[in-house]
Amino acid sequence: MRLWYRTGDIAALRELSCDRVVCFDVETTGLDPRTDEVLQIAFVRGDGEVLLSRFVRPEHHSSWPLAQRTHGISPSMVEGCPSLALLKPEIEEFFEGIDLIVGYNVAFDLLFLQTAGISSSSALVFDVMREFAPVAGRWDADSQRYAWVSLAYCARYYGVPLHAHDALGDARATMACFWAMIGRDSARSHATPSRSYLDVVARYSRARTRRRGGKDE
């Protein structure tokens, strides 16, 4: 998955129209997209409009005690709700005409949709979790990369309210963090982060310029 900060150029992101950006999140029965299922899904447009917020009835699971301890979604809460297959046309419509898909560990969420046969179009993707990692600045020596941190940490960093482990709450917070990171803070956060995502991008831009200069010499 593309890491925007490594390109040293996010001008295209800053010029995006809000109505062509969508953020989504899912809560699931577990962590394996091959065997687990979606229990809740939410889509939020770039301007904050909620496009979808629904509980989803799984077709192959009747209980999920470990996951329920985290997100609190019980079997009774999804009883009588539509299946993901039933929501497929509506979900695919949200992705049509979209320039950018935003999420927190978005590859995980997209994989659940892909496993269910739902197409997410050819839109570009911005994973706030991966993009925020160098801002958090926790270097993982074993994997030789910046460590990923929780959405709760990211939201606190930007002063964004968060109702954690709720698909709509997570999607709203992730979208707000995205705009804050690229300098279009729709959350009107009053936080003053010690490190800026724009500084990270600028650092990589300078490095790319130096490398190109070296090749020309």
CA separation for the pair 141, 127 (Å, rounded): 22
Q: Which pLDDT value is given to residue 174?
A: 98
Q: Which pLDDT value is given to residue 192?
A: 57
CA separation for the pair 214, 217 (Å, rounded): 5
Reading the block at residue 53, the tokens are 């917020």
Pairing assessment for the beta strands 50-55 and 21-28 based on DSSP bridges = unpaired
Contacts of 4 (CB under 8 A, 6+ apart): 10, 13, 126, 131, 201
Please write the tens of the pLDDT for every residue from 159-213. 999 999 999 999 999 999 999 999 987 444 445 566 899 999 999 999 988 887 7
CA separation for the pair 85, 62 (Å, rounded): 17
Q: Which pLDDT value is given to residue 195?
A: 81
Reading the block at residue 88, the tokens are 């497929």
Q: Which residue ranges in the chain fall short of pLDDT 50?
A: 186-190, 216-217
Q: Which pLDDT value is given to residue 216?
A: 47
Q: Which pLDDT value is given to residue 214?
A: 60
Q: Which pLDDT value is given to residue 122?
A: 86
Name the helix (H) or strand (E) containing 114.
Answer: helix 106-115
